[in-house]
Structure 1
Amino acid sequence: TNITAIAGDGSHGLPDQAPFDRIIVTAAAEDPPGPLLAQLREGGIMVLPVGQSDTVQSLIRVTRKPHGYDYDELRPVRFVPLVEGLAQD
């Protein structure tokens, strides 16, 4: 009852519903998307794969601190790429 599914470009997040305590991204970006970082609450955590889509990527944890972000590399992974644009129904 506390989940809403929305089809769209996930790299933009949901600014109208931010800030978030947790964000999980299940497609690889070359860098953490700025709009998603901005939507994390202080103390919030985002977990996402980063790296090129044709190589091994790194699963990272980003924690928003009062004066920036902490990045922790968790493990090597392989995910599909995060592609800009609207989702197709």
Structure 2
Amino acid sequence: MPLAEALALGAPALASDLPAFHEIASERVDYLDPLDGPAWERAVTELLAAASPRREALAARAQGFVAPDWDAHFRAVADATGLD
């Protein structure tokens, strides 16, 4: 998944404000309405600026991210369902 891959590399990331992305990235990214084109354009333009405080803040928030793996996934499923 590109969002997890970007965060695993420490890259600043933006994501659509969807539950699946919140589950993956928590507070490590800025979330935008997926249908708000002007907001996406502003956010991407801001990240591309030579001195971008937003890019620096997002890169700092990405640090330490550990991508979920299959073992963690199946542990979460087992915990949620009570199946071991």
| Alignment TM-score, normalising by the size of structure 2 | 0.25
User: Normalized per residue, which structure has more helix?
Assistant: 2
User: Normalized per residue, which structure has more strand?
Assistant: 1
Structure showing greater radius of gyration is 2
Q: Which has the higher contact order (CA 8 A, sep 6+)?
A: 2
